[in-house]
Structures are given as C-alpha cells and as structure tokens.
Homo-oligomer: A and B are copies of this chain.
C-alpha cells in the first residue's frame, strides 16, 4: 500500500463535470426509476428488459465498450468494459442490480412507487436505494471521468443483474460461462447503506446468506364447512401454524437438527468492535414503531443478532378466507413463505436440505406437506486489512469528511460469494443508501445528500484504486 497519496490530475475534472451536470443527471435518475423493473412479477418481464436496455444505452453513450445484454434463464445480465487504463493499471469489476422488489402493498405508498417524489432532500421511489439509485451513481461517476477527464485511472468491467431480488439464480452459471467478461483484481459492490443519516460512511466486511422456502400444507380437496367437519379432519391451517411455531424455540434458536453446526462464532475482537458501534436502541425502536425490541436469540446483543447471527422469519402467510366478516371453513390448504438468514460458514445448500428433511419428518400423516426451496445464497466475509477496503475507506473519507465505520450486514448479496467461489475475486462493499430507507417496503427513499456524496466518493474511488498496482489491489503484493 502506498503511504503517499498520489495526486490524480483527472479527479478535479471529473468532480467538476458532476457539479456541472447535476440537474441533467437527476432527470436521468428520474427516468430510470420510472421503469418498473420488478423481477418477481412475470407481468413485468418487459419492463425489466427495458431497464437493462436503458443501462446499455447509457454505457455506450459514455464510451464504455462492448456494452450489451446477455440472455439468461431469467432476466438479462448487462456487461461492458473500459480497458483504456492499460495493463499496468488494476482492473475493477463493478456490480449492482437493476431489478427491484415488488411494490405491494401499493395502498401504503404516498405516491405510486414508480413515480419518484422529491421531498426534504430525498427521492422516494421503488429502487431509489435498492439498488437502481446506486447503480445510476456508478454510471455517472464513470461518465464524469470519461467525459470530464477523457479517461479513467483504472480499467473497469461492469456486471449488472436483473434477478437479485429473486435470488440471483442466473449469476452462478453466468460467472462460469463468461469469466472473461468479469475477470478483475477486485469487485466493488454498491448495494448497501451508510451507517446513519448523518453522513457517516460505512464499509461492509461481511454479509449474511439466505435460504428461502415455501411450505404448503394441503388437507381436504377443497374448503369444507367447519361445523360439519370440524373435529374429524386435520385443519391445514392449524397444522401449518404448529409446524412453523415448532421451528423456533423459546430462546429464539431454530430447532432444526444440525442447523448451527457450521456457524462461525463471533471472535472476541468482533464482539468488541460490535460493542463500539453507535446504536441508539430507543431511536431504532421508535423508528420501527414497535412497542419493544425483540429479545431475539439469547446471549447476543441486538447489533450482533442483526448481522452476525442466523434468523428465522416468516415473510408471508395465506390460506382460507380473509375477506369481510366470517366464513366458517376448514381451508383446503394453508401456506407460508419463510427464510432463514445464514452466517459464515453455513452452507445454504446444506441448510436447504436440513430444513426440507426436518419438515418432511415432522409433518403429520393427516395432511400433505410440500416444501419448496425458493432460493439460496451463501454468506461472505472480507478481511478488514485488504488493500481494496483501505483504498475505499480513503475515498469515502475524502467525499464525506469522516472515516467510515466497518461492520457486517444483515442482508444477502448472492453474487459476492459467487464471484469469490467462481473466479476468485474478492469484493468491497461501499453503499450509499439510508439504513432507514425502507428497502423492500412502501415509500423506499434515498437521501440526496448521500447521492451527491456517493457520486463524489465513487469518482475518488477510481483515483485511489488507480494509484496502486493490480497485484496490490488484489491483495497479493
């Protein structure tokens, strides 16, 4: 690592370009956020594709080469590259996703999710923080270098996917099929948030994995009268709640045999670092609107439980009658979607197997229980002393005037583990969304201060990374 900050003559030009084109860029952001690229909804397939095409047009217009979409088993993947910095400069892969979560419940949005609203220096829209807003910032930071300064200090490759919100199913196969389009000394991912809403930047050094399931309990061949049949027939909804309730014990731990076998316990150093993170539990509780925070898994602090411990959460329940008044039935079926968040070194494929086996084993013989694996993703950890992490920290401090905090994230970004496993590329996560930004919820928002600071930080990031050799950035020199 170089101790002396080498001045990068083009940086000022890039930053000037960003200031001069701020209004035009906001208009383009608006255009991008209006595309309802909901990957979970087959009715939105054409819109997801439209978002991919929009990115290709942007990349091509700013001078990125071979910008293109690739067909996959699901939605298109976008790649492109600018290799003008030459073989002596490092190559960095930029990953973001252009798909978004479903916007429902729609009636809780103050304005429709795909009609951005600007208020209090925030932009409200589905995808504003997760992750189209951050993808857009990467586009504009690169454009600022290429148009403002004429060239970038690093070689860049781009990898934008449209299936992150539904489990990134095509990513693994794509990495295996097209390593040449993705090869890099480091990957930079922006799909996470700053530490707070006071401009404290953060670098994420770990991610949780996930295993997501759907379970369906089927009983009588159709809904039947609860007076006529009640007492004689196992009620699928009664069985479902018993099954789900049995998955977690009174200490907040999952009861599935073998579930904790590979969990890497927090080190003393990590627990000390967690203890130092500022965390206002009362403010957190109030922002969520809950009467009391969960005790969760016994033996761990709230901050630890939020990112370094596995979880069990039901995301959806349905079955029977939910309309007005009373319908006195035993429903034909009842179903749930649920997931467990995983931590290093849990293997999501093993967890999928354990969960399916367990539910199949405990299912009572009076009903049929079908468990479907919806998607899985591996957890990940990146060493704190990696050069890429340190250079990114400097870029963030330069843009925001504060050193970043380092922590793990509770969420899952399947591509991070897939890139490591597939082509040996480590990832640094620098994100600019708000930790209170309503990801996956109604009225998602992004602070425009973070947007402006993030553009600045990303422009600086390429100057920082261009100041070291490829081997150094890779962490091998």
A466 to chain B, nearest CB (A): 33
A226 to chain B, nearest CB (A): 5
Is A294 an interface position by the 8 A CB rule?
A: yes
| Residues on the B chain within 8 Å of A331, using CB | 314-316
Supposing A42-B324, A231-B296, A302-B232 touch, asked if A105 and B223 sit within 8 A by C-beta, the answer is yes
Is A441 an interface position by the 8 A CB rule?
A: yes
| Residues on the B chain within 8 Å of A238, using CB | 244, 248, 312-314
Is A242 an interface position by the 8 A CB rule?
A: yes
Within 8 A of B (CB), among A115-152: none
Binary contact readout A25-53 vs B (1 if CB under 8 angstroms, 0 otherwise): 00000000000000111100000000000
Asked if B235 and A329 sit within 8 Å, CB to CB, the answer is no
Out of B221, B365, B409, name the residue touching A227 (CB < 8 Å): B409
Interface of A is mostly: loop
Is A334 an interface position by the 8 A CB rule?
A: yes
Asked if A314 and B322 sit within 8 Å, CB to CB, the answer is no
Asked if A367 and B410 sit within 8 Å, CB to CB, the answer is no
Asked if B292 and A365 sit within 8 Å, CB to CB, the answer is yes
Of the candidates A165, A212, A315, A322, the one having the most CB atoms from chain B within 10 angstroms of its own CB is A315
Asked if B365 and A291 sit within 8 Å, CB to CB, the answer is yes
Asked if B321 and A222 sit within 8 Å, CB to CB, the answer is no
Residue on B nearest A294 in the bound complex, by CB: B234
Supposing A314-B334, A316-B322 touch, asked if A228 and B167 sit within 8 A by C-beta, the answer is no
Is A442 an interface position by the 8 A CB rule?
A: yes
Residue on B nearest A223 in the bound complex, by CB: B441
Is A240 an interface position by the 8 A CB rule?
A: yes
How far apart are the CA atoms of A292 and B363 in the complex, in Å? 12
A340 to chain B, nearest CB (A): 9
Asked if B40 and A224 sit within 8 Å, CB to CB, the answer is no
Supposing A222-B438, A335-B322, A442-B223 touch, asked if A410 and B231 sit within 8 A by C-beta, the answer is yes
Out of B225, B248, B367, B368, name the residue touching A440 (CB < 8 Å): B225
Asked if B296 and A232 sit within 8 Å, CB to CB, the answer is yes
Is A241 an interface position by the 8 A CB rule?
A: yes
Supposing A245-B246, A341-B226 touch, asked if A231 and B297 sit within 8 A by C-beta, the answer is yes
Asked if A230 and B320 sit within 8 Å, CB to CB, the answer is no
How far apart are the CA atoms of A337 and B223 in the complex, in Å? 14
Asked if A289 and B341 sit within 8 Å, CB to CB, the answer is no
Q: Give me the interface of A with B, judged by CB distance under 8 Å.
A: 39-42, 101-102, 104-105, 108, 165-167, 208, 210, 212, 219-235, 237-238, 240-242, 244-246, 248, 284, 288-297, 302, 305-307, 309, 311-331, 334-337, 339, 341, 365-368, 374-375, 409-412, 435, 438-443
